Chain A
Amino acid sequence: MAAIIETKNLTKRYKKLTAVNDLSLSVESGSIYGFVGPNGAGKTTTMRMLTTLLHPTAGEAWVAGYSTRRQPREVRRVIGYMPDFFGVYDDMTVWEYLDFFAACYEIPRPVRARLVADLLELVDLGHRRDDMVDSLSRGMKQRLCLARTLAHDPQVLILDEPASGLDPRARVEIRELLKELSRMGKTIFFSTHILSDVNEICTHVGIVEAGVLVTEGTLQDIQHRLVPHRRLQITLLDPTRAEETRLALLEREGVGEVRLADPPQGNGSADAHSAAPALLEVNFTGDQAAVSALLRHLVARGLPLLSFTEAPHDVEELFMRVTKGIVS
């Protein structure tokens, strides 16, 4: 898939401080790219360069094929930018706010009325159309800001900490909105501290620290690069056969450590009156065919399997592995 955002050796220096250092990243069209890093890692600076607000000291960046240095206007036409602050006017109503920004994107007046109504519907603020922006809750303001970024139907959304400072409900709402926008074909490039969001919605991740891109790719790619083995979780209906299962697993090639873990809570399929099921965690090196063969092996042995799953990627673990806690 073609890259819609690309940077080559992007660097930003402020006197002695190097905020972004030789950063080369590539964001595929249609992806949801999580730009993760500690505070002061250079995420916002990178985003400000991508949105033409800052000139790089060195290097180059392109959005949809347009150079941020030489074709800023074309870049602005294809991006929607939401900074990490609200940036709302307190003396405007909700529809005036959207109408104003739509006008700033040179959208003709006859189209704007319908557009504003559609945007408000998309972010579920239609009922607050005539309220003052100032009277909205934090989550609503964030949704309004997101609607603003969509006024000119951009291909790429560049969102700086879209979920920061929001309550859990508002965070879920924003997350759902981002998924919806992705389904609409938008490429979403967003920075975040919230690793669970990355896990939940990102197709790609870039981890940045001290202005340097530490790693980049899909979560699976990064996982395979950093943690070569898979982590399988096997639940047994009969906990007394855990040891037998462990030995059966160790017979197979690629099986590393097998550990008996605490059973999962609230397993709906478990009989409340019987003993709690046993959970085995297995480090396994092998491809998907090998995983399938392993499952067949256990079933053939007549072991009472309740579930057999590959544990989801633990972004926090990956993050801790690749970052060293340095800030620029």
Chain B
Amino acid sequence: MTAPASGSAAPAPVAPAASARPRRSLREWLTGNPVTLKELRGRMRGARAFIVLIIYLLSLSVFVTLLYTLYINSNSGGYYGGSTLPDRQVLGKFVFGSVVGTELLLMCFICPAFTVGAMSGERERQTMDLLRTTLLRARTLVVGKLASALAFAALLLVAALPLQSLAFLLGGVAPEEVVIANVLLLSTAFVYCAAGVYASSIMRRTLGATILTYGFVLLDTLGLPIALMPVAALSSGLSYGVFLGPPPLWIQGVLLYTAGVLISTNPLATAVATEVVLISDQTLFTFSVPLSDVLGHTVNAPLVSPWLPWTLFSVLLGVLLILLSVAVIRRGER
């Protein structure tokens, strides 16, 4: 069906042609998305951002001080007790691990809060219709919301760098560890912020989006021990109840890789397992685990340090959630 002749007067274009877009500077790129700019202006206005930053750093400091005190007062030396590293370096590793672990835990619960109201808040404020009648693309809206949340998360990470660097005074922390710890933190922030955006896109109300997002975060973080329990029980049951010794290699392999997958989909477990692998195998990339059965067959099961599959998993899941959010927003109301 074509437009009626009476209404076919084409309007003069208002916006500039998109084809002749000049190269943009970094500042222009950062502020080129109107949603990012608006969100950051709103987020940083007043005392709110300052208070969030203070609470974050205070909680981090309190946790790390507590863990440090506990460590100093215990003679066992905790997990690192069996290592051959000098005491001060062990302490350095412990402080660094404590800071990063606490940061990770805080990130898991703070990041979703940055985005759970991203889209549902627009609906509640009745501004979504206004945005949808402008030329703003769904992807610009979604990416803008996510980018502003990630920018604030990045600010929290940068603000915590001095706390991380306390460990450098004691030694024992390799530069690779620092980089990987921050990759882990950023990927965690990315996937949980994306989860918040997606929940906010599909739920009409922010309350519903909050429940959905934190449900996912709890399942991903605390659900893992529950999921690992049957794997451990199965492994133990097979060893002592069925095979009266190590089960066949393929069963061990399945259990090992299942545990690996479960660990690599959980940021906290990934952090701990990555550190364990680093200390025991001195590697941040690939290593192998020897498996043997009752008949004396042995095989080296190749594995990668959990931070690699976690980063891949979080980036892929985050991108998928963003694409789904864009599709939901683009579809709009039917």
Contact = CB atoms under 8 A, between A and B. Distances in A.
A, B co-complexed: yes
Interface of A: 2-6, 8, 26, 29, 48, 51-55, 60, 62-67, 73-74, 76-79, 81, 83, 85-92, 96, 100-101, 103-108, 148, 152-155
Interface in B1-22: 1, 3-4, 6-11, 13-16, 18
A54 B38 CA distance: 27
B6 A3 contact: yes
Given A26-B6, A105-B134, A64 B15 contact: no
Contact of A3 (B7, B125, B131): B7
Contacts of B4: 3, 6, 8, 62
Interface residues of B, number: 34
A85 B126 contact: yes
A63 B127 CA distance: 23
Q: Which 9 residue pairs of A and B lie closest in terms of their CB atoms, listed nearest first?
A: A103-B34, A104-B134, A65-B8, A106-B15, A91-B42, A104-B136, A6-B7, A78-B11, A3-B6
24 contacts: A2-B6, A5-B7, A6-B4, A6-B7, A53-B332, A62-B4, A62-B7, A64-B7, A67-B3, A73-B135, A81-B133, A83-B126, A83-B129, A92-B38, A103-B37, A104-B34, A104-B135, A104-B136, A106-B16, A106-B135, A108-B16, A152-B134, A153-B14, A155-B11
B333 interface: yes
Interface SS of B by simple majority: loop
A156 to B, nearest CB: 9
Contact of B127 (A5, A79, A87, A108): A87
Contacts of B13: 77
Nearest to B48: A91
Contacts of B3: 6, 62, 65-67
B38 A96 contact: yes
Contacts of A86: 126
Contact of B10 (A8, A64, A88, A148): A64
Given A91-B45, A105-B135, 17 more contacts: A2-B7, A3-B6, A6-B7, A53-B129, A53-B132, A53-B133, A62-B4, A73-B135, A77-B13, A81-B129, A90-B125, A92-B38, A100-B37, A100-B38, A101-B130, A106-B135, A153-B14
Nearest to B332: A53
A52 B10 contact: no
A117 to B, nearest CB: 18
B23 interface: no
A104 B125 contact: no
A148 B7 contact: no
B134 A101 contact: yes
B41 interface: yes
Nearest to B128: A87
A89 B39 CA distance: 11
B334 interface: yes
Contacts of B34: 100, 103-104
Contact of A89 (B7, B11, B42, B134): B42
Nearest to B136: A104
Residue in B9, B18, B37, B131 whose Cβ sees the most chain A Cβ within 10 Å = B9
Contact of B42 (A55, A65, A79, A92): A92
B1 A60 contact: yes
Given A2-B6, A87-B126, A104 B131 contact: yes
Contacts of B133: 51-53, 76, 79, 81
A86 B45 CA distance: 22
B10 to A, nearest CB: 6
A96 B41 CA distance: 9
Contacts of B125: 87-90
Contact of A64 (B9, B16, B126): B9
Contacts of A63: 7
B6 A6 contact: yes
A32 to B, nearest CB: 18
A106 B134 CA distance: 9
Contacts of B37: 100, 103
Contact of A54 (B10, B126, B127, B333): B333
A203 to B, nearest CB: 17
Contacts of A62: 3-4, 7
Which of B3, B7, B135 has the most chain A CB atoms inside 10 A of its CB? B7
A4 B9 CA distance: 8
B186 to A, nearest CB: 27
Nearest to B38: A100
A77 B333 contact: no
A90 B45 CA distance: 12
Given A51-B133, A53-B333, A105 B14 contact: yes
A26 B6 CA distance: 9
A60 B42 CA distance: 40
B43 to A, nearest CB: 9
A94 B138 CA distance: 24
A108 B18 CA distance: 11
B145 to A, nearest CB: 13
B3 to A, nearest CB: 5
A152 B14 contact: yes
A195 to B, nearest CB: 27
B35 to A, nearest CB: 8
B9 A2 contact: yes
B126 A65 contact: no
A107 B14 CA distance: 8
A162 B160 CA distance: 50
Residue of A65, A107, A155 with most chain B CB atoms under a 10 A cut-off:
A65
Contacts of B134: 76, 101, 104-105, 152
B287 to A, nearest CB: 50
A101 B34 CA distance: 8
Q: Which of B6, B129, B130 has the most CB of A within 10 A?
A: B130
A114 B15 CA distance: 16
A120 B312 CA distance: 49
Contacts of B42: 89, 91-92
Most buried by B among A8, A91, A155: A91
